[in-house]
Amino acid sequence: MSAPPAAEPAEARHGGRGVSQKVAVCVVYVAGLFLSTLDMTIVNVALPTIGRAFDVPATAVDTVSISYLVSLAVSVPASGWLGDRFGGKRTLLTAVAVFTAGSALCGTATSLGQLVVFRVVQGAGGGMLASVGMAMLLRAFAPQERVRASAVLSIANGLAPTLGPVLGGILVTQVSWRAIFYVNVPVGVFAVVFGALFLHSRPARPAERFDLTGFLLAASGFALVMYGVSAGPEQGWRTAPVAGALACGAVLVTATAAVELRSRTPMIDVRLLGDRLFAAGTTVMTVESVTFLGALFTLTLYLQDERGMTALTAGLTTFPEAVGVVTGSQLAGRVLYRRLRPRRHLMLGAGGTSAVIAVLGLVLPMDPGLWLVVVLLYGMGLAVGQVFVGTQSASFATVSDSSSGRASTLFNVGRRLGGAAGVAVATSVLVTAGTGGPTAGTAGYRAAFLTLAAVNLLGLYAATRVSDRAAASTIPPPHEKRRDNPRDNPRDNPRKNPRKKNEEEPQP
């Protein structure tokens, strides 16, 4: 078993201008992660408007979303190697800058072709920053401090997907579809400038051979799978492009695993999945991503199709779920993770998510009051927040510092593919179950929610495989004390240390 990664030395925790390295990493990483996650959902509400602006059919405008997701899948495999080779600061800031530049270019697009190309640029930056930023976070925070850092990160993971439709609806209605891309620019510029000033330049690691074979196999396989699960719901799973992409993608992903197991310097270090704790935590996060985004997508459709809400009103109605994630994350970071220990904490989060989604599936067809929907959404957010914090805190406890970049890559591959798969699963069930009969729509939504709740039980099972002993280094002590406060240190407190008191009293 690998040794847990150690925190950086004290002199490495502060930038040259006196800002804590922990704060600097969190600010830049959260800003970048928030933007890249937001762009997975904010564009969806603008697709009809973009189609009319460029005079293209709805089937063609879907490439705006699919190209972004495919580009994410292509860039993620190389992100860990880039961070190790060129240093975390340089790679992270480059990734945020590329994403920001892609956003600005998207706003200037004059044709659908241009917009798709610029979305690919956006996705390339977004894919890189997720893994590199997480690796920097692991190195900046000691294991027992990561639960608090994860609570901050969960704000981006939980808030951005829900805020996307709301913000997108407001900008498209009140300003222009171009504004959904321009809104990223000031935040991205701030993150780059702040990072350039305050992020610590950790020396790059000794250069390893770039695993070109592994990269080509992984990038091609993940891209084809991402395309298949993204396009399948709209184009049909049996159409030649979708079925071919999924089949070829599965073959390439399998070949990637076989090749990387024999490689001395793998691009995708599949051997890390032999670490039981890391494998269990990554599985919980992947399954939760399927359920979380799948349920949000399904509920948004339900509110519009069955309740007759506009896209903006539906987005505002689902917003309590994001509030629940933020609240649950803080509760997890401050209390529950330490008291319940990682295994029970993750079981609570995964089990609670399945329970709430199952209840949604059972009560929504009965046309309940909107207040009940809001309460259930808030409850789902509370449960999801536990999983976000727990997985990001515990999963890397037994991963060595030298492997943290490759481990972050694997973790983020699961999260990105899981989110796309969640929408695909929900859409497929809706189409399959919602055919025929006057109440077909209601039956479809019930089936979609219950299917997602059942899928999430796989995450609950994976949570039972988490070892509290292996993750013990990530559990904060019962009462954390500030070392810089003399009242908390008896050696520096004259009232608790007579010797110190005598030293400070004036001598006759």
Please give the pLDDT value at position 157.
76
Q: Could you tell me how far CA 82 lies from the centroid of its own chain?
A: 20
d(CA 190, CA 200): 17
Are the beta carbons of 219 and 70 closer than 8 angstroms? Answer: no
Are the beta carbons of 158 and 326 closer than 8 angstroms? Answer: yes
Please give the pLDDT value at position 430.
83
Q: Could you tell me how far CA 281 lies from the centroid of its own chain?
A: 14
d(CA 337, CA 438): 47
Within 13 Å, how many C-alpha atoms sit on residue 238's CB side? Answer: 0
d(CA 281, CA 411): 9
Residue labelled with tokens 């709740």: 453
For CA atoms 187, 192, 197, 201, the dihedral sign is positive
Q: Could you tell me how far CA 285 lies from the centroid of its own chain?
A: 9
The H-or-E segment that residue 226 falls in is: helix 212-235
d(CA 424, CA 228): 9
Amino acid at 2: S
Please give the pLDDT value at position 87.
85
d(CA 118, CA 102): 5
What residue segments make up the domains of the chain, in order of their start?
10-476
Are the beta carbons of 336 and 345 closer than 8 angstroms? Answer: yes
Within the chain, which residues score under 50 in pLDDT?
Answer: 1-16, 435-440, 480-508
Please give the pLDDT value at position 478.
79
Are the beta carbons of 13 and 140 closer than 8 angstroms? Answer: yes
Please give the pLDDT value at position 356.
95
Question: For residue 374, with 0-12 CB atoms within 10 Å meaning exposed, 13-18 middle and 19 or more buried, which class applies?
Answer: middle
What Å distances lie between residue 481 and 392, 476, 478, CA to CA? 23, 11, 10
Q: For residue 401, what is the DSSP state?
A: G
Q: Quote the pTM value.
A: 0.83
What Å distances lie between residue 137 and 151, 223, 350, 377, 415, CA to CA? 13, 27, 24, 30, 17
Residue ranges of alpha helices (H) inside 263-369 are 276-305, 311-331, 337-363
Please give the pLDDT value at position 284.
96
CATH number of 10-476: 1.20.1250.20
d(CA 443, CA 351): 24
Comparing C-alpha atoms, which of 284, 271, 303 is closest to residue 400?
271
SS3 308: coil
**Residue 368 neighbours by CB under 8 Å, 6+ apart:** none
Please give the pLDDT value at position 287.
95
Question: For residue 483, with 0-12 CB atoms within 10 Å meaning exposed, 13-18 middle and 19 or more buried, which class applies?
Answer: exposed
For CA atoms 128, 133, 136, 138, the dihedral sign is negative
Are the beta carbons of 79 and 130 closer than 8 angstroms? Answer: yes
d(CA 121, CA 133): 18
**Residue 109 neighbours by CB under 8 Å, 6+ apart:** 115, 118
